[in-house]
Every structure is written in structure tokens, then in C-alpha cells.
């Protein structure tokens, strides 16, 4: 009996050590810029949607460290100002370069209100951007909703399709002129490997006939990829590039709509601590696509862990991409 208990304890200890080693030693994700490129983004303005939490927040921190002026496009001003305060303390523990008169705009952090579930909010956000910002070098379409219960946006679209695809579709289209006049400029789209389980079912884009929250998330992430590829085609010859990425599985607030029974939460937390990426690790591909000279001029590609990856044929279907673009134009009301 005593030998059995000792064996069980040893096995548990071994398991914990293995998990800890995997977490701290085995991470395959290296930070791109280890302090050596601190001026790489100086003079560049970056807009990140959903920058108050998770991947968006971590991406903002990295790009601030590289000297960018970062605009956080967030739906809740209070949450965004709180995150901005924390970011400033993290990035500049002794007071920010944006607080001094000699900063020249380097490393500045700005909060603007943007609710992607409201077309009128997207429109007024873009109006403010065009009035106040002389340039936009990088747009990072990061904000996202994951597997929420059936909900509609202010304009009557299914929430995941509405926020993850349509809100960003309108945002990007309204900011394209500014991106073009700031060229060379970049657009970075955050998708997910779960796109593989989605399809663009044109006959029920608002899921009024049936709603499956996993399918709808995957569909919205497939739409992100099709949008990227169609936009890259339309932007050929403009010096504005657009690429899409999957960040891996990352410990963020994305699972807020997923109910995990109380008793299983410690196990879930242990597993996610051991196996999921940290937000900083998950943000590396977005930071890479936004800042690295290696991807200057690269467009229409899909990346994971800072490397180009292959897509399934359904994500490369040009006729579906064009049809989705045309229908999206009608849905958001920008058809000329």
C-alpha cells in the first residue's frame, strides 16, 4: 500500500515536472525582437482592434517597445483606458517616451472607441481616424468573438460573422485610402486554424435557419482568410500588403462564453498553463507580419509561428472569395 502511494506520488511529481519543463524550456516560440530593434517601428502608426485584451494587448506592447505609435481600437473605453495604463507601466516603468516633449511621437499609445458590432460605430471611428491621423502604416484586424450564444449585431448580422468578418471588412475598406497614402503599408488579419471546420453557406449568412456556435466561429475565420486573399488580389501594385495568420492556442479571454464546470476548472487551468501559448508568445506572428523587413512586399499569404503555411483548397477558392466580397459590400452598405 505504502509502495503504491509512493509510486502514485512519484508519477504525479514527474508529471508536474514534465509539464513545467515543457512550459518553461520547451516553448517553440521565440520572441522576435529581444530588445535589439527598439527603433524598428519609430515613426509608424499602427491600429490594433481589440487591443485591450489577450493577443491584441500583447501585440500592442511589443510594437510600442519597437517605437510605434499604437492606436487601440476598443469597444469599451473604460476597459481600454485601464489596459492602456497597465501597458504604459509595463513598457515604460520609469515614465513613457510619449510623456516627454522630445518623443517625436515614438512609442505613443492612443485609445479610440470602436465597436465592430455596429456599422455606425465603425463609420464614426473611421471618420475620426481620417480627420486626426495623417498616416496609417499598419492595420491589425485582431478583435474577435468566439462561440457566443446566438446574438445579432446592431445591424442584424449573426454576431461572430458580424464582428469577426463584416465589422473588419467595413473598417478596412474605409481606411484603405489612408493606408494607400501611407504606403508601403501593411494589413494583418488574425484568423484561426479552426477555419478548417467552416464553410461559407451563402444561403444563411445570418444563421437564421440554424445556429451552431462552433461552425459560425469557423465560418467567420474562413471569411477572414478569403477576405485577405481577395484584398491582396485587389491591392496588387499598390505597396499595401495584406496577410493572415493563426496564432496557435493562446491563454486569453477568448473563451468567455464557454462554460467549464467548477470542478473541472483547476484541471483546465493546469492544462492551459502547460500547453497553451502565453499572449506574448501568441502575438509573435502578428508582430512579425507588422514589422519584419523579411515580409516586405509579401501579400496574400497565411502564417503561423512566423512562417508561411499551406491552406486548404476551400480557403483558396477565388470564386467564393469574390462572391463573399461582393455580398459583404452589400451587407455593410458600401456598394457603389
Kindly list the catalytic residues. 217
Which of 33, 45, 50, 64 forms a contact with ligand NAP (CB under 6 A)? Answer: 50
Pairing of strands 69-74, 109-113: parallel
Residues in 214-273 that interact with ligand NAP by CB under 6 A: 246-247, 249-250, 252-254
Cell (9 digits) for 47: 491600429
Q: Is residue 54 at the binding interface for ligand NAP, with CB under 6 A as the rule?
A: yes
Q: How many CB atoms lie within 10 A of CB 313?
A: 7
Helix count and strand count (H, E) for the chain: 11, 8
The residue number with the shortest CB distance to ligand NAP is 54
Which of 40, 41, 47, 55 forms a contact with ligand NAP (CB under 6 A)? Answer: 55
Collapsing DSSP to helix, strand or coil, 186 comes out as: strand
Q: Nearest-CA neighbor of 228 among 321, 127, 115?
A: 321
Residues in 101-140 that interact with ligand NAP by CB under 6 A: 114-117
Q: 41 vs 48, which CB is nearer to ligand NAP? A: 48
Instruction: Name the minimum Å distance from CB 252 to ligand NAP.
Output: 3
Using CB under 6 A, count the residues that bind ligand NAP. 29
Beta-carbon-side half-sphere exposure of residue 174 (alpha carbons within 13 Å): 22
Q: Is residue 79 at the binding interface for ligand NAP, with CB under 6 A as the rule?
A: yes
Question: Which regions of the chain does DSSP assign to beta strands (E)?
Answer: 45-49, 69-74, 109-113, 138-141, 185-190, 240-246, 302-304, 307-308
∠ CA 271-273-274, rounded to 5° = 65
Q: Is residue 59 at the binding interface for ligand NAP, with CB under 6 A as the rule?
A: no
Query: Of 26-34, 46-54, 198-206, 304-312, which part binds ligand NAP (CB under 6 A)?
Result: 46-54
Q: How many CB atoms lie within 10 A of CB 264?
A: 10
Size (the chain), residues: 336
Q: Is residue 163 at the binding interface for ligand NAP, with CB under 6 A as the rule?
A: yes
Residue 231 is given by DSSP the state H
Instruction: Name the minimum Å distance from CB 34 to ligand NAP.
Output: 23
Q: Is residue 208 at the binding interface for ligand NAP, with CB under 6 A as the rule?
A: no
The interface mask with ligand NAP, positions 173-192, x = CB under 6 A, is: -----------------x-x
In whole angstroms, what is the distance from residue 244 CA to residue 308 CA?
A: 10
Q: 106 vs 186, which CB is nearer to ligand NAP? A: 186
Residues forming the site for ligand NAP (CB under 6 A): 49-50, 52-56, 75-76, 79, 114-117, 142-146, 163, 190, 192, 246-247, 249-250, 252-254
Amino acid at each position: 500500500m505504502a509502495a503504491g502511494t509512493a509510486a502514485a506520488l512519484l508519477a504525479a511529481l514527474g508529471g508536474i515536472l514534465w509539464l513545467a519543463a515543457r512550459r518553461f524550456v520547451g516553448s517553440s516560440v521565440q520572441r522576435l525582437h529581444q530588445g535589439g530593434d527598439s527603433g524598428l517601428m519609430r515613426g509608424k502608426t499602427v491600429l490594433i482592434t481589440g487591443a485591450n485584451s489577450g493577443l491584441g494587448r500583447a501585440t500592442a506592447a511589443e510594437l510600442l517597445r519597437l517605437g510605434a505609435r499604437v492606436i487601440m481600437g476598443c469597444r469599451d473605453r473604460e476597459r481600454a483606458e485601464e489596459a492602456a495604463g497597465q501597458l504604459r507601466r509595463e513598457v515604460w516603468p520609469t515614465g513613457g517616451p510619449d510623456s516627454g516633449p522630445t518623443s517625436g511621437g515614438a512609442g505613443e499609445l492612443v485609445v479610440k472607441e470602436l465597436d465592430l458590432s455596429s456599422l455606425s460605430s465603425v463609420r464614426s471611428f473611421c471618420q475620426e481616424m481620417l480627420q486626426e491621423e495623417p498616416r496609417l502604416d499598419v492595420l491589425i484586424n485582431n478583435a474577435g468573438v468566439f462561440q457566443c450564444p446566438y446574438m445579432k449585431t446592431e445591424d442584424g448580422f449573426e454576431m461572430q460573422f458580424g464582428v469577426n468578418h463584416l465589422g473588419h471588412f467595413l473598417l478596412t475598406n474605409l481606411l484603405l485610402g489612408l493606408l494607400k497614402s501611407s504606403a508601403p503599408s501593411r494589413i494583418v488579419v488574425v484568423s484561426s486554424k479552426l477555419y478548417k471546420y467552416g464553410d461559407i453557406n451563402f444561403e444563411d449568412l445570418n444563421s437564421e435557419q440554424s445556429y451552431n456556435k462552433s461552425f459560425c466561429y469557423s465560418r467567420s475565420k474562413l471569411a477572414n482568410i478569403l477576405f485577405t486573399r481577395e484584398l491582396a488580389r485587389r491591392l496588387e501594385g499598390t505597396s499595401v500588403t495584406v496577410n493572415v495568420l493563426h496564432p496557435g492556442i493562446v491563454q486569453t479571454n477568448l473563451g468567455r462564453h464557454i462554460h467549464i464546470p467548477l470542478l473541472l476548472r483547476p484541471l483546465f487551468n493546469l492544462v492551459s498553463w502547460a500547453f497553451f501559448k502565453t499572449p506574448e508568445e501568441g502575438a509573435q506572428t502578428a508582430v512579425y507580419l507588422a514589422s519584419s523587413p523579411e515580409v516586405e512586399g509579401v501579400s496574400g499569404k497565411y502564417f503561423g509561428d512566423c512562417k508561411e503555411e499551406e491552406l486548404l483548397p476551400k480557403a483558396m477558392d477565388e470564386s467564393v472569395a469574390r462572391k463573399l466580397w461582393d455580398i459583404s459590400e452589400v451587407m455593410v452598405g458600401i456598394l457603389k
